[in-house]
């Protein structure tokens, strides 16, 4: 199959590119590299089945020849990144979804949207099921990301219902692993970097807010299964093992054998108090669930951060 992926130079995008190539597909990657990096694709330089095009996907996408799948993964994805690039975030969710769906329509390709647990906002129910409509502050500091992704979901369903495009929507929950940027501001790279430097871990608020972390190889497997499925309604992908951010900080200190202390910083506005995916739908329809424990995933990630620190 020939697959086009936007955001293929990013964290999840590049891991998905690797799996797609491993499975024998041809891959075209589009990325404007504002948060993605060619370092994530450097090992593919001589791969004949891989092509990189530097492009902003909010502009018209012109590709010659057939395409079987269009995967829309481009977007700043960490709170720091999307607050630094608010307009680009809104544009890539909205215009980028429109352009990639238009491409899928022209090529009669199947389509997958990388959506997010952020569509649930600061959720009033826990765990979150796909039928929960969410609690989003459109004009708050996370609004640009949440609303862009909600728009992208609405656009995807409209192309599916109105144009009959064969679409899928993955609601991706917190995922971590190799190739996360040290400074993307998210809790996993931040805590690991702080712990390895024996600097204080910055817990926001009192650390009682919860997250559920999925290791990247599990997420990529789930995304690939969804891509090959015919499920058009949104589906949650993530690890349902929930923990508080304070416990998470302690876990990182333990696993890195760090001398770091914990310091408390103000909780950012609209920071979700709880987050945990209900993955019964993915279990049932995709026969998928995460296999890698938090500890195992963190050990691999810490080893990678140590190595890239030395490099
Ligand atoms: N967080 C923290 N310290 C940091 C970075 C993040 O306590 O240095 C908290 C943040 O307030 C949130 C959680 O960790 O409650 C996860 O944050 P992240 O930015 O990774 O992603 P989010 O799940 O909020 O989109």
Atom of ligand 1 nearest to the CA of 203: 7
**Residue among 187, 271, 298 to mutate when testing ligand 1 (max atoms within 8 A of CB):** 187
CA–CA separation, 278 and 127 (whole Å): 5
Q: Is the peptide bond before 159 cis (omega within 30 degrees of 0)?
A: no
Assign domain 180-211+241-275+292-306 to its CATH superfamily: UDP-galactose 4-epimerase, domain 1 (3.90.25.10)
Q: What is the second-level CATH architecture of the domain 2-175+215-237?
A: 3-Layer(aba) Sandwich (3.40)
Ligand 1 centroid to 264 CA: how many Å?
A: 12
- Listing from the earlier edge strand, what are the strands of the sheet with 235-237? 50-54, 26-31, 2-6, 69-72, 110-116, 167-172, 235-237
Residue 192 has pLDDT above 90, yes or no: yes
CA–CA separation, 294 and 231 (whole Å): 28
121 lines ligand 1 (CB under 6 A): no
Residue nearest to atom 13 of ligand 1 (CA): 187
Percent pLDDT > 70 in the chain is 99
Catalytic residues: 145
Residue nearest to atom 18 of ligand 1 (CA): 186
State which H helix or E strand residue 226 sits in. Answer: helix 216-228
Write the pLDDT tens digit of every residue in 247-256: 999 999 999 9
Write the pLDDT tens digit of every residue in 50-107: 999 999 999 999 999 999 999 999 999 999 999 999 999 999 999 999 999 999 999 9
Ligand 1 centroid to 203 CA: how many Å?
A: 8
194 lines ligand 1 (CB under 6 A): no
- Name the residue ranges covered by the structural domains of the chain: 2-175+215-237, 180-211+241-275+292-306
Report helix, strand and coil shares of the chain as percent, to nearest 5: 40, 20, 40
Residue 29 has pLDDT above 80, yes or no: yes
Residue 311 has pLDDT above 90, yes or no: no
CA–CA separation, 82 and 26 (whole Å): 30
Residue 310 has pLDDT above 80, yes or no: no
Write the pLDDT tens digit of every residue in 223-282: 999 999 999 999 999 999 999 999 999 999 999 999 999 999 999 999 999 999 999 999
pLDDT class of 309 with cuts at 50, 70, 90:
confident
Mean pLDDT of the chain: 97
């Amino acid at each position: 199959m020939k697959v086009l992926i936007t955001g293929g130079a990013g964290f999840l995008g590049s891991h998905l590119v690797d799996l797609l190539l491993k499975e024998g597909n041809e891959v075209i990657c589009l990325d404007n590299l504002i948060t993605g990096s060619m370092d994530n694709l450097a090992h593919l330089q001589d791969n004949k089945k891989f092509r990189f095009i530097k492009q902003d996907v909010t502009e018209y996408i012109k590709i010659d020849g057939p395409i079987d799948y269009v995967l829309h993964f481009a977007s700043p994805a960490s709170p720091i990144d999307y607050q630094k690039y608010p307009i680009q975030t809104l544009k890539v969710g909205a215009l980028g979804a429109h352009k990639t769906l238009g491409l899928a329509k022209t090529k009669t390709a199947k389509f997958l949207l990388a959506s997010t647990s952020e569509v649930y906002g600061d959720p009033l129910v826990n765990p979150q099921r796909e039928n929960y409509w969410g609690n989003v502050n459109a004009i708050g500091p996370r609004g640009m990301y949440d609303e862009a992704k909600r728009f992208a979901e609405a656009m995807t369903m409209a192309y599916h219902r109105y144009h009959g495009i064969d679409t899928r929507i993955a609601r991706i929950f917190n995922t971590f692993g190799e190739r996360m940027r040290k400074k993307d501001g998210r809790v996993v790279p931040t805590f690991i970097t702080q712990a390895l430097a024996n600097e204080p871990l910055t817990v926001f608020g009192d650390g009682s807010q919860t997250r559920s972390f999925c290791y990247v190889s599990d997420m990529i497997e789930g995304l690939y299964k969804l891509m090959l499925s015919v499920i058009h309604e949104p589906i949650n992908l993530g690890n349902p093992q929930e923990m508080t951010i304070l416990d998470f900080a302690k876990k990182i200190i333990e696993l890195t054998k760090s001398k770091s202390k914990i310091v408390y910083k103000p909780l950012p506005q609209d920071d979700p108090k709880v987050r945990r995916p209900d993955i019964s739908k993915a279990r049932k329809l995709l026969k998928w669930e995460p296999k890698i424990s938090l500890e195992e995933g963190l050990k691999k990630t810490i080893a990678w951060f140590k190595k890239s620190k030395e490099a």
